[in-house]
């Protein structure tokens, strides 16, 4: 019996897909496959943090530049850009967590057969990573409810949070951030600072691990990698905490910026 060209193509497609699935499954089941997923998704998340921080620091420049920046983010690619960004972030975060959990379970099963001090030490640092990671996840969920969905506050009220940008009424994201960290809600600032501190600890270990997984760690590069990880983590920590802390410590500076544009 002869197979039609269409049937042959379908058959070939099936074989290729089968091979690909098997290949991915084998790769995933190895610990290096999962480590690579953690490292590659980690790179994207680490780069996002730098971008988000630099954008957020525009808050010190006043309502107009910050609201222009927020407007740009919401209107990239006619509004589709932010959704592409969100989809990528969700995939990255989920893959980062799933691979970490799978890796931890695999390591735990392997460790049962031989316990010695080096693995006990490694398990301590991975426990710290899991704890700081879970706190960061809780923070991100809270943060999105706070500033993106804006529940439990008035930030979605256009009467209170409107800003005129070149004749167009837009959301006053600048005022939202200033009010979000107002001294009367000092506990919000406290939670942000605690979360940022755990983020800093997560990055100190995580950035070094990315280099290790990608094969860049050697006796020669070890101390440089350590310096890069600590330097990057401190840059992210100081940059992020500077915003809520400045809003609490120097309210006069932000009031003057608001007055300058009549808000
Ligand atoms: C003081 C520190 C921070 C400030 C002031 C801040 C500010 C903001 C603001 C204003 C938005 C909403 C933008 C808008 O919809 O107009 C936002 C969204 C977001 N932030 Fe932050 N952020 C901070 C720290 C962080 C950190 C440390 C992370 C990650 C660990 C993070 C992750 C996100 C994410 C994932 C979104 C959602 C973006 C979206 O889908 O709309 N932020 N942030």
The Cα 189–Cα 95 span in angstroms is 29
Which residue ranges make up each domain of the chain? 34-110+124-260
Q: Give the residue, 93 or 122, on which the prediction is more confident.
A: 93
**What is the rounded distance in angstroms from the CA atom of residue 143 to the CA atom of residue 65?**
22
Nearest CA to ligand 1 atom 4: 56
Task: List the residue whose alpha carbon is closest to atom 7 of ligand 1.
Answer: 56
The phi, psi pair for 47, rounded to 5°, reads: -70, -35
Q: Identify the residues whose C-beta falls under 6 Å from ligand 1.
A: 52, 56, 70, 86, 89, 136, 140, 143-144, 147-148, 173, 177, 192, 199, 240, 243-244
Radius of gyration of the chain from its Cα atoms, rounded to whole angstroms: 24
Q: Would the pLDDT of 191 be above 90? A: yes
Condensed to tens digits (0 to 9), the pLDDT of residues 95-121 reads 999 999 999 888 878 776 665 655 566
Which one has a higher pLDDT value, 239 or 18? 239
Q: Is residue 202 pLDDT above 70, yes or no? A: yes
For residue 170, the 8-state DSSP code is E
Place of tokens 């923070």: 139
> Which of 50, 51, 56 to mutate for ligand 1's pocket (most ligand atoms within 8 Å of CB)?
56
Cα 44 → chain centroid:
8
Whether residue 263 is predicted with pLDDT greater than 80 in this model: the reply is no
Cα angle value 241/137/144 (rounded, 5°)? 70
């Amino acid at each position: 019996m002869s197979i039609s060209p269409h049937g042959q193509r379908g058959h070939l497609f099936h074989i290729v897909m089968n091979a690909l699935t098997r290949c991915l499954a084998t790769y995933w089941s190895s610990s290096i496959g999962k480590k690579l997923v953690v490292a590659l998704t980690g790179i994207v998340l680490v780069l996002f943090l730098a971008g988000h921080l630099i954008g957020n620091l525009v808050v010190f420049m006043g309502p107009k530049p910050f609201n222009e920046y927020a407007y740009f983010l919401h209107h990239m690619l006619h509004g589709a850009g932010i959704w592409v960004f969100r989809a990528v972030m969700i995939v990255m975060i989920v893959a980062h967590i799933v691979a970490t959990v799978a890796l931890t379970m695999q390591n735990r099963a392997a460790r049962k057969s031989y316990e010695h001090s080096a693995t006990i030490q490694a398990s301590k640092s991975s426990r710290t990573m899991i704890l700081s990671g879970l706190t960061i996840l809780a923070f991100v969920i809270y943060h999105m409810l706070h500033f993106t969905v804006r529940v439990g506050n008035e930030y979605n009220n256009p009467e209170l949070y409107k800003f005129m940008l070149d004749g167009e009424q837009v959301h006053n994201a600048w005022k939202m951030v200033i009010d979000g960290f107002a001294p009367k809600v000092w506990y919000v600032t406290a939670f942000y600072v605690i979360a940022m501190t755990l983020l800093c600890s997560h990055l100190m270990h995580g950035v070094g691990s990315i280099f290790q997984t990608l094969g860049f760690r050697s006796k020669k590069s070890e101390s440089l990698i350590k310096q890069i990880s600590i330097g990057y983590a401190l840059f992210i920590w100081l940059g992020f905490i500077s915003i809520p802390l400045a809003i609490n410590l120097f309210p006069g500076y932000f009031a003057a910026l608001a007055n300058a544009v009549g808000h």
